[in-house]
Every structure is written in C-alpha cells, then in structure tokens.
Structure 1
Amino acid sequence: MHDLPLVIFTILSQLILGGFVTLWWIDRKKAGISRKTGLLISNSFLILGGVSLLVSMLHLGQPFFAYRAILNFGVSWLSREVTFYGAFVGLILFYTWFWYKEDRAKRSTIGWITSIIGVIAIFSSAKIYMIPAIPAWDGVSTLFAFFLTSVLLGPLFVAAILAIRGEVNVNISGLSVLTLAVTAVVMAGYFSSLLAGLPEAVETARLTFNHIFFWIRLVTFAAAFTLLFLSYKNSKWQNVKIYSVAFAVLLVSEFLGRLLFYETAIHL
C-alpha cells in the first residue's frame, strides 16, 4: 500500500479533469446553472485539486523539496506533470473567480485554456509510467486508462451535483455507458497483451487475477454499467440516486483498478 498516495493523486486529478471539462461544456451550451451551483462545483475542484497535490507529496522522500520537480521540464515527464497540473489547478482558481463575478464570456475563454492544460497534465502523468522497464505499464493501455477514468468519473460527479441542486437535467448515461464499453474493450486487450508478453507481464496478469480486488472491481464495474444502462434506456432512472450510486460504485472500481496497477507491476 506504499503507492496509495499515487493512487489517490491520479484518481483525483483525472476526476477533476473530466468534471471540469463537463462543467465548462455545459455552461457554454446551456443556460440555467446558477452562480451558487457553479461556485459549488468549481470550488469542489479546487478543494480536490489541493488535496491531490498534498497527497502526491506524501510519496516523496522530502516533500518540502517538491518544487524541485519542475527543474527538469525539458527531459522529464514527471516535471511536466507537476508543471502542467499545477497550472491546471491554478487556472481553475481563475475560472472560479469568473463564476464569482458572473462573467460567462470569460469563463468560456479561461475554461477552454484550462481544459487543454488539464489534458496535457494527464497525458504527462500517463507518460511517466509508459517505460520499458515495466512491461505491464509500457503500452497505450496506460494512456487509455488514465483518460477513461476522467470520462467515467468527472461527468458523473458533475451530473450528480446538478441533479442534487435540481438545476440542469443532464443525461450523462449515454456517455457513461459508451465509456464503460470502451473501458471493457481496453481491459480485455490489456490482459490479452500481458498474457502474450514477457514473463514479467504474464506474472502481472497472474497476480492481478489472483487478487480479490480484481474481482471486486469487476463486480462494481458490472453494477455501474447495469445502473447506467437502465438510466440510458429509461428516463425515470435519470435521477439523483442513480447518478450518485453509479458515481460511488465507479469510484470504488477505479480506485481498486489503480491500486492493482501499482501493486502488481513487475520490473524487468
């Protein structure tokens, strides 16, 4: 469990990206989100961003020297991750300020820039792990997994809050069902490649299949898919309870999946 800070950081950072892009996109396309609700959601991203940054430093041997991580920007994906993610959270602060000022035009502009920086930050985060020394990580599946987590958790987080506030009825089920289906395909391809790969990759697959967290992840994944598919098919299921439960179940599923990502990695 020594990688727990990284698990929390990566999950939260990806959730924030997906949620921020969702809020920005809905705000651009639909009127009706009140200043109070916009501030609530945007401030929640700031709080989660702050928590994620603090937690990430717990993984460092000398947390107070974390600022040095940006010094190798030209050659290190870790430095790029720190730089771009810090900028992402900082830009969310400006975006939140424009919610406070009720300036929708400036929110739209700053939201576009913030979204691009956030995507680069998550891309940089994924590239840190795509290294030949760990066959299970060195592939496009890692990149897919990080961005799919964003699309799974972020929109549901925003939709649940909007439903609780009763302001904008956003049917996020179709996107969630499609993303879950893509995730299932990526997972199948990932494990197939592990089983056909180097001995270290095969060992990672064996460790994963023998871990109770893997089977809990499958059950929670299937449960979330069922709930969201029913919501997609029947508008009566598009409500606070469904979105909230689906989000909570998927959060558990993604958390366990990311924990296995770290715990079952085998070096060459």
Structure 2
Amino acid sequence: MENLSLVVFTVLGQGAAGMAFVLALQGLSRKEPPGGRLTVSYSVMIVLLGIAGMASLLHLGQPFRAINVLGGLAHGSPLSWEIVSVALFGAIAALVSMLHIRRHPLANNRVLQVTTAIAGLVMVFTMSRVYNLHTVDPWFSIWTPVQFMMTSLVLGFASVITLDAMHSTGMQWMRVGVTVSALLTFMSIPLFVLFLGSLPGMTTILADNGLTMARCALLAVGALLLGMPLVNRKYIPACSIAGVACLVASELAGRVMFYDLLAFRIL
C-alpha cells in the first residue's frame, strides 16, 4: 500500500514513546545504577524511533523536504509540529541513552526520565492532530488520538517487559499493565467499528473485514502470551518474544486499516 511508510512511522514511533513512558514509571518506582538493562531498553527505544524516522522521510520522497515543512510552524501546521515533536523526543531520548551507555550519574535523573516520557506523549498527540481532518470523516473523531495512545501503551509495556525478563528484573505490575492495555484496546475496536458504521457511506462490510479480525486475534494471542506468567509464575522467553511479535503485527494491521479509511473521505 502507498501509506506503508506512514504505518511503520506511526506504529514504531508510538511504540518508542510508550517505552519512554513505562521506563519513566519504573524510574519513579525504583532506582537502578545506570547501564545494564536500562542501556538496552533505551537503545532499543532509539532504534525503533530511528526506523520510524527513516520511514517518515521516505514518505516525503526527498528527506530535505522536511526542512520546508518546518516553514508551516508560523501557521500552526500540525505536520510541522509533528516533525518538531519527533525531533525533540529523539534528541532527549538519544541524550538519555548516551548517558546510560556512559554510565553517567545523571542517567537516572527522574526529572530527565519524566521529561523524556512527556516528550514522547506529546509526539503521539501531535501525530494524531495531523489526521484531525474535516475532509476525512473516519479520522475526524476522538478515536484517532485514543487509538494512537493505546498503541503506545500496548507496545511500550510489551517491549519493556520482554527486555526486563531477559535480565531477570521483570515486574508483575508491568504484565498487568500490558494485559489491561491490550484489553482496553480490544474493547475499543468494536466501539470504533460502531462509530464507522454510523458514518454516511460506510457499510458493515468494512466493520467485518479481514484486517479487523486479524488484529483482534493477534491482540488476544499476544496479550495471553505476555500475561501467562501472572498465572503459572513461569517465564518462557520464546512466549514473551512471540507475544511482542503478535502485538506489533496487531498494531500494524490496525494501522493499515486506519489508512485504508482514507478512501472514505468526503469529496
């Protein structure tokens, strides 16, 4: 599909923002020496954001066009603010990651961790504003920012859980977090479908398409695999990795469907 680069950009970028949020929660609940697990977590977050950034530049055709887009800041252009927020979040996240790699005492500064999380959430919000278009009814609703934020929470908790478990420092509350986030996302899907069905020109065929069913199935399987240790108290690395893969695939499927809704714009 022609919007595949945007699918990758939004899903991975929001996943990175979710990781920053979960890592900030961890930082507020406990203090760890810089390096080790946190270095890996912040490095993965930077990699995800880097891939997302490259995908967004591909959508522009020529990367240097991003500079031209910045000219819209004076007019309050949502796209311009999105680029600024991505750059700001990337810069702060890269700084924190570098501090952890160098095992600098400031790496665990809680103000810096919270600032990184806030920058990530602001980035997710500015992403949603880009799609707040009067000409595209399916996008012009509260469901757009809700879906983007839920993607951040689901992928953020899932990624940090998996990385923590590999270092034997996983926390039960994070498994509860990903389970609850996945459950809320699962519950929001039929509500979003009902919203789509209420729009002029939309049909029940859209509500029952293969992408929606695939997303629900992958979401359920992923949450089950990641939440399994809450029941049997046994961690199986392969299950955790498979769970993350299912959740990422679920969010990608949901985002493909989101961009497919562009076909229902008002002419």
Q: Same fold (TM over 0.5)?
A: yes
Say yes or no: does 1:249 pair with 2:246.
yes
The answer to whether the 8 Å contact 1:88/1:118 transfers is: yes
CA–CA distance in 2 between the matches of 1:193 and 1:208? Answer: 10
The answer to whether the 8 Å contact 1:153/1:251 transfers is: yes
The answer to whether the 8 Å contact 2:218/2:247 transfers is: yes
The answer to whether the 8 Å contact 1:208/1:260 transfers is: no
Q: CA RMSD in A?
A: 2.0
Report matched runs for 1:38-117 at 5 Å.
38-73=38-73, 74-99=75-100, 100-104=102-106, 107-117=109-119
- Give the match for residue 36 of structure 1: 36
- Give the match for residue 18 of structure 2: 18
Report the AA paired with residue 79 of structure 1. Answer: S
Deviation at 1:114, TM superposition (A): 1.7
CA–CA distance in 2 between the matches of 1:267 and 1:143? Answer: 18
The answer to whether the 8 Å contact 1:231/1:242 transfers is: no
CA–CA distance in 2 between the matches of 1:130 and 1:234? Answer: 44
CA–CA distance in 2 between the matches of 1:105 and 1:38? Answer: 9
Deviation at 1:111, TM superposition (A): 1.5
Secondary structure of 1:63's counterpart equals coil
Deviation at 1:259, TM superposition (A): 0.7
Cα pair distance change 1:240/1:45, threshold 3 Å: same
- Give the match for residue 219 of structure 2: 221
Fraction of identical pairs, as percent? 23
Moved more, 148-157 or 40-49: 40-49
Once the two structures are superposed, residues 18-64 of structure 1 have per-residue CA deviations (whole angstroms, 9 ceiling, x without a partner) of 11121232133224466132222212222222221111011113322
The answer to whether the 8 Å contact 1:80/1:124 transfers is: yes
Deviation at 1:106, TM superposition (A): 5.6
CA–CA distance in 1 between the matches of 2:27 and 2:9? Answer: 27
Deviation at 1:186, TM superposition (A): 1.7
Q: Which blocks of at least 5 consecutive residues in structure 2 are unaligned?
A: none
CA–CA distance in 1 between the matches of 2:86 and 2:214? Answer: 31
The answer to whether the 8 Å contact 1:6/1:59 transfers is: yes
- Give the match for residue 233 of structure 1: 231
Once the two structures are superposed, residues 156-210 of structure 1 have per-residue CA deviations (whole angstroms, 9 ceiling, x without a partner) of 11110111122x12222211221122112221211111112221xx14x533523
Moved more, 106-115 or 89-98: 106-115
- Give the match for residue 149 of structure 1: 151
Matched length = 262
CA–CA distance in 1 between the matches of 2:22 and 2:110? Answer: 12
Once the two structures are superposed, residues 131-164 of structure 1 have per-residue CA deviations (whole angstroms, 9 ceiling, x without a partner) of 1211111111111100000100111111101111
Q: Which blocks of at least 5 consecutive residues in structure 1 are unaligned?
A: none
Report the AA paired with residue 87 of structure 2. Answer: G
TM-score (norm 2): 0.90
CA–CA distance in 2 between the matches of 1:67 and 1:48? Answer: 22
CA–CA distance in 2 between the matches of 1:78 and 1:155? Answer: 27
Say yes or no: does 1:170 pair with 2:171.
yes
Report the AA paired with residue 104 of structure 2. Answer: E
Report the AA paired with residue 86 of structure 1. Answer: A
